[in-house]
Amino acid sequence: MKKRQSFLSYGKQTIDETDIAAVVETLQSPFLTQGPKVEEFEQAVADYVGAKYAVSFSNGTAALHGACFAAGIGKGDEVITTPITFAATSNAVLYCGGKPVFADIDADTYNIDPNEIRKKVTLKTKAIMPVDFTGQPVELDEIMQIAEDYNLVIIEDGAHSLGASYKGRKVGSQAHMTMFSFHPVKPITTGEGGVITTNSMEYYEKLQLFRSHGISKTPYSLEQGDWYYEMTELGFNYRMNDIQATLGLSQMKKLDQFIARRQEIATLYLKKLAKMQGVRLPTQLDGTESGWHLYTIQLDEQAIGKTRRKVFDEMRAVNIGVHVHYIPVYWHPYYRKLGYNKMICPVAEHWYERALTLPIFPEMTNSDVEEVVESLKEVLEN
């Protein structure tokens, strides 16, 4: 089989000269942290998604931690989420002393199934953390209805879905809080970084407190000197800095282009893989526009006469960076120790055994796509 000269990773950032020039300018400015760029970036993200507020964090995981704090998650509270996500989603619940409860996925969208969420609601349920897996928005209308029925907080994990839309509206304006991550493989990057968007002033204020030691910025009476401040909550140092925010601002200008290119690649895959035996392609929910963060196919081992593991190894051997997203979270040893057993979510587990992620990122060329398709054909046919 033909081997690619260089390894094609499943995802990576796009950084150009304008990004570099912008960051250099900030490095030469008086502010490296907490200067004007952080607020400018927050405003740009809030405006883009159509939310009132955005609060930035040092990374997406810290942002999820902040959202769980703002939602008041504490000891004994249950939070319903999907097992097909990065561990950071449910870890944020654990940080606050809460209990993640895993609800099964929909076999077509791979996203959490609203009917399964309803089955898992108890008197202890306080929030739902749906994840827009691969960039495809979750069924927000139904999930918001569940929130209303049971008085729950929705914290949407949009790590994959900045730029995606649900029924004509950008992800990030409808859930009570939405998290976006700016890790280099995500839709745009700040190196490390994250944000929570919200329309709630109450959450906005709590998030600001939490990311900066629990110290409030409220001006105090004139009796106090200018040095004075008060710490009112046990917060963290989870702030984003001006260097990161500058890169983020520059990247935001290119977000729509990035998403458009990801869509093009997804369309190419659809065209070229549609007739391949034993391969199931991702489907799009009506009324949603995916951000195509990941392109995940499913392999029917029986139909192709080869295991997923063998396909994975053979693709890697020719430098095609296939991957598998994600191991069901509750399978991890830490979760097993907490008492989670296998088979909590059978649809998710069945799906995981067959899943394979193909490379997709804005700088990928059509000939890269061609190489992935040709290699996959060869691997499946031989």
- Taking the least distance from each CB to ligand PLP, the nearer of 65 and 308 is 65
x-marked contacts with ligand PLP along 62-101 as a string, rule CB under 6 A: -----------------------xx-xx------------
Taking CB under 6 A as the criterion, the residue among 170, 183, 239, 308 binding ligand PLP is: 183
157 binds ligand PLP (CB under 6 A): yes
186 is catalytic: yes
x-marked contacts with ligand PLP along 131-150 as a string, rule CB under 6 A: x-------------------
Smallest gap from residue 110 Cβ to ligand PLP (A):
12
- Taking the least distance from each CB to ligand PLP, the nearer of 159 and 364 is 159
Task: Point out which span in 33-41, 56-64, 239-247, 303-311 binds ligand PLP (CB under 6 A).
Answer: 56-64
Q: Of residues 186, 272, 342, 377, which has the active-site annotation?
A: 186
Q: Which residue is nearest to ligand PLP (CB)?
A: 60
Taking CB under 6 A as the criterion, the residue among 11, 60, 100, 137 binding ligand PLP is: 60
246 binds ligand PLP (CB under 6 A): no
- Taking the least distance from each CB to ligand PLP, the nearer of 60 and 373 is 60
Q: At what angle do helices 242-252 and 17-27 cross, to 10 degrees?
A: 150
- Taking the least distance from each CB to ligand PLP, the nearer of 91 and 165 is 91
Judged by the rule CB under 6 A, the positions of this chain that interact with ligand PLP are 59-61, 85-86, 88-89, 131, 157, 159-160, 181, 183, 194
Write out the catalytic residue numbers.
186
